[in-house]
Amino acid sequence: MEIFLKADTWLALLTLCFLEIVLGIDNIIFISIVSNKLPEELRQRARNTGLFLAMFVRIGFLLGITWIIGFKEPLFAVHDILPDWLIKFMGFHGDHDFSGRDLILGFGGLFLIAKSTMEINHEMEGEEGKGSTKKTAVPTLTATILQIILLDIIFSFDSILTAVGIVNEVLIMIMAVIVSIGVMMFFSGAISRFIQQHPSMEVLALGFLILIGFMLFIEALHYPVPKGYIYFAVAFSLLIELTNIRVVKKRKTEPVKLHKPFNEEEIEEAVGQVEVEPVYSKDLSYPIGKFEGKETYTPEELKVLISRIERLPAKLEAAVNDLSDEQLDTPYREGGWTLRQVVHHVSDSHMNAYVRLKWTITEDTPLIKAYNEKKWAETSETKLPVILSINLLRTLHTKWTKIFKALSAEELKKEFIHPDTQKRISVSKLIATYAWHGDHHLAHINYLRKRMGW
C-alpha cells in the first residue's frame, strides 16, 4: 500500500479515471437506448445489473492483463486465407495481418452498425400494428443485460489498453474501472430519460453509435482514426441538437394573452371540461391510490362522481384507440393484466355493478352475487378487440348514469349486502366506488403509456 503515499499514484489514478469515463460515453449511449425498450420499472435494474456484471468482466480482463495484451499478436494474414489471384484482383495487401483484438473490434463495430441501423428503421417505421402485420419480439430483461455485457466487453478493450499504457499497477487499474462503472450507473438513468423524452436525441445517439461502429471496424483494418475527431463531431452534433430542442420548445410556448372577465356560466363549463393529469404513485397496482370511501356524500359530491362515471367510456376509448395489438397485449405492470384484459375487465365489473344497483333499488337490502374477476379476465372473449367492450360501456354508462341522476335521497341510502364480507354498501358508496374504479383502471393504461413513451 506504499504506492498510495505517492502523489504520482493519485495523479495517475485521477487521469485514468477521467479517460475511462470519456471512453465510456459510447457505452452509456448504447445502454440508454437498449434499456429504454424495457418497461420503465425494469430499466434501472437492467442498467445497473448489466454494468455491475460488466465491471467484474473488466476486472477479470485486468487480472489476466498478459493474456489481453497477447490479443494484439497477429493470428493470421490475408494471404493465409485468400488465394493470390483474389488478393491481386481485390487490391488487398497480402501481408496485412489480423489479431484477436482486430477481430473483436471488427465484429463489434459491425454489430453496432447493424443494431443501430435496425433501431433507426424501427423509429422511422413507427409502432408495429399500423400498416404492418409483422410483430417485433418484446425485449426481455435477460436479453438486455446480455447485450450490455457483450458491448461492454467490446468497448473495454480500448479502456484496458489505455490503462496499460498509463500505469503499471493492476490495483490502480481496477480502482479506475470501479469508479468509471459507478459514474456510468449514476448518469445512465438521467441520460436514458433524456433520450426517451426527446425522440430526435435517440436518432442522433443511434447515429453516434453507427459512427463509433464504423470507427471500430476501420480500426480493426489498421486504419486508426484519432478519437479527438470523433468526440468533436459528437459534441458538435449534440450542441446543435440541444439548441434545436430549445428553439422548438420556445416556439411552442404560447404568448400570454389577456382575456375578458369570465362569467359564472363560462367558469362552470371550463371546470367541467378541464382534465388534469393525476399524480401517479410509485405503486403500479394502485397508480392513483386505493379507494377511500366515506359514510355519506353531499349532492354536489355525487354529481361530480356521476360525471366521472358518465365520461369514462370516452376517456377509455381515447386511451387505447391508437394502440397496436402488441401494445394492448402488454401488461400494465410485471405479472399484471394486459391492457386488453383491463378494458374487458372494466366492462365486466361495471355490468355486475349495474345489476347490483337495479337489485338494490328494487328490493329490500338484497344479498348480491359476487364473481371471480381473475377468472373472468381469462375467458376466451377477453382476446377480442377492445372496441367491443368500449361500445358496451358507452351504452351501459348511458343507462347507468340516467338511473343515478334520477335517484331520490332515500334511494341513495338503500343498501345491498356483499356475500364475501357481509358488509352493507349503500348506493351512494357504490357510485363513489365505481367512479374510482374506472379512473383506477384508466390510470393503469395512461401510466403505462407515459412510462413507455407511447
Which residue do the cell numbers 410509485 mark? 282
pLDDT reported for residue 133: 43
Angle at 102 between CA 98 and CA 103, to 5 degrees: 90
CA atoms within 13 A on the CB side of 312: 33
pLDDT at 159 over 80: no
Number of H helices, E strands in the chain: 19, 4
Q: How far apart are CA 243 and CA 221, in angstroms?
A: 36
Q: Which of 89-103, 130-144, 341-355, 417-431 has the lowest mean pLDDT?
A: 130-144
Compare 399 and 51 and report the one with higher pLDDT: 399
Which residue do the cell numbers 393525476 mark? 278
Q: In the numeric block, which cell numbers belong to residue 333?
A: 405492470
Q: Which of 96-105, 277-286, 306-315 has the lowest mean pLDDT?
A: 96-105
Q: How far apart are CA 322 and CA 40, in angstroms?
A: 20
Compare 277 and 330 and report the one with higher pLDDT: 330
Q: How far apart are CA 4 and CA 175, in angstroms?
A: 12
Q: Which of 44-48, 171-175, 264-268 has the lowest mean pLDDT?
A: 264-268
Angle at 370 between CA 364 and CA 376, to 5 degrees: 145
pLDDT reported for residue 168: 60
Q: Compute the average pLDDT of residues 241-250.
A: 75
Q: Compute the average pLDDT of residues 162-178.
A: 69
pLDDT reported for residue 269: 47
Please give the share of the chain, as a percent, with pLDDT higher than 70.
71
pLDDT at 445 over 90: yes
Q: How far apart are CA 268 and CA 35, in angstroms?
A: 45
DSSP state of 4: G
**Burial state string for 142-157 with b = 16 or more CB within 10 A and e = fewer than 16:** eebbebbbebbebbbb
Query: Which tens digit of pLDDT belongs to each residue from 92-132?
Result: 565 667 777 677 777 767 876 887 787 677 666 654 444 44
pLDDT at 406 over 80: yes
E strands of 4-136, at which residues?
74-77, 97-99
Q: Which of 59-73, 143-157, 179-193, 233-247 has the lowest mean pLDDT?
A: 59-73
Q: In the numeric block, which cell numbers belong to residue 166?
A: 498509463
Query: Which tens digit of pLDDT belongs to each residue from 52-99?
Result: 887 887 777 777 655 655 566 777 776 667 677 776 766 656 566 777
For 350-401, the three-class secondary structure string (H helix, E strand, C coil) is HHHHHHHHHHHHHCCCCECCCCCHHHHCCCHHHHCCCHHHHHHHHHHHHHHH
DSSP state of 71: G
User: Is residue 365 within 8 Å of residue 424, measured between CB atoms?
Assistant: yes
Which residue do the cell numbers 491481386 mark? 88
Q: Compute the average pLDDT of residues 279-290.
A: 84
DSSP state of 163: H
Contacts of 136 (CB under 8 A, 6+ apart): 122, 128, 326
pLDDT at 392 over 90: yes
Residue of 62, 219, 232 whose CA lies nearest to 156: 62
pTM of the model as a whole = 0.44
Q: In the numeric block, which cell numbers belong to residue 113?
A: 452498425
Which of 22-26, 249-253, 428-432 has maximum average pLDDT?
428-432
Specify the pairing of strand 415-417 against strand 97-99.
Answer: unpaired
Q: pLDDT grade, residue 270 (50/70/90)?
A: very low
pLDDT at 138 over 60: no
User: Is residue 328 within 8 Å of residue 339, measured between CB atoms?
Assistant: yes
**For residue 97, which phi and psi values (nearest 5 degrees)?**
-110, 160
Q: In the numeric block, which cell numbers belong to residue 4?
A: 498510495
**What contacts 24+ positions apart, CB below 8 Å, involve 20-24?**
20/159, 20/162, 20/163, 20/176, 20/177, 20/179, 20/180, 21/179, 21/180, 21/183, 21/184, 22/231, 23/155, 23/158, 23/159, 23/162, 24/155, 24/159, 24/180, 24/183, 24/184
pLDDT reported for residue 135: 46
pLDDT reported for residue 20: 66
pLDDT at 306 over 90: yes
Q: How far is CA 443 from CA 86, 92, 309, in A?
A: 64, 62, 14
Q: How far apart are CA 209 and CA 197, in angstroms?
A: 19
Q: How far apart are CA 350 and CA 309, in angstroms?
A: 10
DSSP state of 5: G
| Burial of residue 182 (number of CB atoms within 10 Å: 0-12, 13-18, 19+) | middle
pLDDT at 427 over 90: yes
Which of 15-19, 95-99, 209-213, 291-295 has maximum average pLDDT?
291-295
